[in-house]
Structure 1
Amino acid sequence: MSATSPNQVSKRVQLSDIAAQTGVSLATVSKVLNGRADVSAKTRAKVTEALQSNGYTRRHAAIKQQRLIEVVFEDVETVWALEVLRGVLAEAKQHDLSVTVTEGGTKQHPDPSWLDGMLRRQPLGAILVFSNLSKTERTKLKARNIPFVVFDPSGDPSADSLSVQADNWTGGVIATRHLLSLGHTHIGIVTGPDYMMCSRARLDGYSSALAEKGISVDPALVTEGDFTTPSGYAQAMAMLENPDTRPTAIFAGNDLQAMGVYEAARQLGLRIPEDLSVVGFDDVQTAAFMGPALTTVRQPLQEMAGVATRMLIQATQGETPSSVILPTSLIVRNSTRALNG
């Protein structure tokens, strides 16, 4: 007698069988399968295990009707978010997939309404532009056979999660080395939020590049922003107001904060790059059109988004892609120059 394949098992097993095996009602099994919140964690785990051991979740891939990828942002108001979205759209088009965009929660975590909506929409997969999900949320997505990729994670992704990010530490190193090569030693930095892994990595790169030259980090030149233009402006004003202590160069944690540095310099009558050199991070489209054009570290956002999309497609096809870190590179334009040169 030949062995029974998982696909054959999944065709025979009914929800009533799962209910009988687990000792819960058919309605409870249905709630777990549909990601409803009104089920205890213990019951959810028991039913989910039974569904998976019987191969029932394999059925979802066959009945999905929407060739849809969902991208979840904190917000889509920035050029950064648009760059990511362009990368997803370009790759999705190659595979005849549609893309939907959801806003919700913060960079650290989505809000519950987002997850409930996704479980109803049942996309092929999701790209999450924030930190990792909780164990309960991962279980819900797994039960509905919805793979996900964490894009530019704000914290350390769990070992069983897929993620795509840039080499932020190297980006911090090459940005600071560039300024050092121009003779700057009094270099300020406006980081992103300390809770974000990419911010800490860029700051570590900055510190490492200074250490290569035997320069200690001056705490007065390290200030924390939130990756927005207003925070770049506020932190730059604080560093630049005093002519006796102001830095000769600033490494902004991203291009949006660099825009704020530009405005602070303008209001204080400082010329870029004659009086102040500035380096950004990301290389969003507008960076090349700032006045002067911004020297920045290129984070390949569109390529990263394309990779995340391909990883989702591979996951739906039964492949096991691995997490990816893409390289960063320095784009030299007109916002930096040699000190006193």
Structure 2
Amino acid sequence: MRIRIKEVAERAGVSASTVSKVLSGHDVYAVRAETAQRVRQVARDLGYVPDVAARNLRTRRTGQLGVVLEAVGASEPDELLGDPSVSSAVRRTFDGAIMAGLSGAARELGVPALVVYPGGGHALHTFLDGRVDGLLVGCDPLRGHGLLASLAQATLPVVALWTQRVPESVGAVDVDHAGGAALATAHLIGLGHTRIVFYGGGIRSGVEHFARRQEGYARAMASAGLPALAALHDGPSLLHAVREGVSAVVAETDLGAAAAYRALRSAGLRVPDDVSLIGFDDIQGAEYIAGGLSTVYHPAAEMAAEGVQALMRRLSGEAPRQQLIPARLVLRRSTAAPRRATDTS
């Protein structure tokens, strides 16, 4: 038999309205601390369970957040890697990081449920039926952000993940791709490298993340007074560049770094003795690439967690804004000073 608020009130010796105020969880109601504590204890002792459906009718809120994961995960095309199972495994690790970030933040903030809409392609009215109070959209870096454009005029608060290209009415949380690539490039410059190449599709790929990573590389080179070289994205071009004096490589992803490493090794070149190599993402298994790949940690879980917090702030009335989650270097064994800088003979 369901315990009602009236029964909690009688046992606690207060009015039903006082019980309602205390159990609503809102601090705006002035109830003495000892009274509130007594009401909560009585509610626990009686096994009171709030009628969420009735509360939602009163507040016009469900407490639930919607999540659309249009695309999560990897990066480099399968044909570059030679093994589709590799990129599939990477997608799973990014999926896990995103979901861990979402669920962890929701748990800490007391969000009762995350409603996950699988994939994209849903009609706009799917998200506007009152089931969720706000929406997180994990954007597809390859196919654009059509859903965000459709949601821009809706009253539903929306926060986008993994993009900085959003309408004014939509908040956004992204990884600082440019800042991370700049860190990687500055690390190589600090070791003494002056001929550094960016390996990947970069700006020409049409992928927002990769374009920003190449821009970060170019920014760091310019800050050091060094020329930014044209981006490369195949083994033969990379080997030619090394023969022409390139001594270090900034790969736009760890998978791209693995492909670059294979090309260098096939030509008898050693990492880092002959060429330094640094990636981006710090994927699971990066410590086994090139004997231990130096890379940039991609804070996907942190980005997702901040997305939940940003959406909660939007629900509290905060204006939409853009946020960048800093990346950081993870240094292993694939980068070193160039040989000419260490050769004292």
Coarse TM-score class (shorter-chain normalised): 0.5 to 0.7
Contact 1:73 1:102 in 2 (8 A): no
TM-score with structure 1 setting the length: 0.65
Deviation at 1:149, TM superposition (A): 1.1
Deviation at 1:72, TM superposition (A): 1.5
Contact 1:167 1:327 in 2 (8 A): yes
Task: State the alpha-carbon separation in 2 of the partners of residues 325 and 139 from structure 1.
Answer: 21
Indicate how the Cα distance of structure 1 residues 82 and 269 shifts in structure 2: closer, same or farther if over 3 A, else same: farther
Partner in structure 2 of residue 152 of structure 1: 162
Task: State the alpha-carbon separation in 2 of the partners of residues 92 and 299 from structure 1.
Answer: 21
Task: State the alpha-carbon separation in 1 of the partners of residues 328 and 128 from structure 2.
Answer: 38
Contact 2:67 2:135 in 1 (8 A): yes
Structure 1 stretches lacking a partner, 5+ long: 1-58, 105-109, 224-233
Deviation at 1:151, TM superposition (A): 1.1
- Among residues 84, 94, 97, which one is paired with 1:80 in the alignment? 94
Q: 1:135-150 to 2 correspondence within 5 Å?
A: 137-138=150-151, 141-142=154-155, 145=156, 147-150=157-160
Task: State the alpha-carbon separation in 2 of the partners of residues 138 and 301 from structure 1.
Answer: 23
Contact 2:197 2:228 in 1 (8 A): no
Deviation at 1:212, TM superposition (A): 3.3
Moved more, 124-133 or 274-283: 124-133
RMSD: 3.2
Partner in structure 2 of residue 286 of structure 1: 285
CA displacement, residues 193-236 of structure 1 (integer Å, 9 cap, x when unaligned)? 533443333222222322233322232xx13xxxxxxxxxx624
Q: Which amino acid aligns with 1:294?
A: L
Query: Is 1:165 paired with 2:174?
Result: yes
Q: How many residues align?
A: 261
State percent identity of aligned pairs.
26
Contact 1:292 1:334 in 2 (8 A): yes
Partner in structure 1 of residue 229 of structure 2: 218
Q: 1:166-205 to 2 correspondence within 5 Å?
A: 166-194=175-203, 195-205=206-216
Deviation at 1:251, TM superposition (A): 0.4
Q: 1:1-341 to 2 correspondence within 5 Å?
A: 62-63=59-60, 65=62, 67-75=64-72, 77=88, 78=91, 79-94=93-108, 95-102=110-117, 104=119, 110-111=120-121, 113=122, 115=124, 117-119=126-128, 122-130=131-139, 132-133=145-146, 137-138=150-151, 141-142=154-155, 145=156, 147-153=157-163, 156-194=165-203, 195-219=206-230, 222-223=231-232, 235-240=234-239, 244-245=243-244, 247-320=246-319, 322-340=321-339, 341=342
Contact 2:159 2:172 in 1 (8 A): yes
TM-score with structure 2 setting the length: 0.64
Q: Which is greater in Rg?
A: 2
Q: Which amino acid aligns with 1:214?
A: G
Indicate how the Cα distance of structure 1 residues 85 and 268 shifts in structure 2: closer, same or farther if over 3 A, else same: farther
Secondary structure at the counterpart of residue 291 of structure 2: coil
Contact 1:190 1:236 in 2 (8 A): no
Secondary structure at the counterpart of residue 274 of structure 2: coil
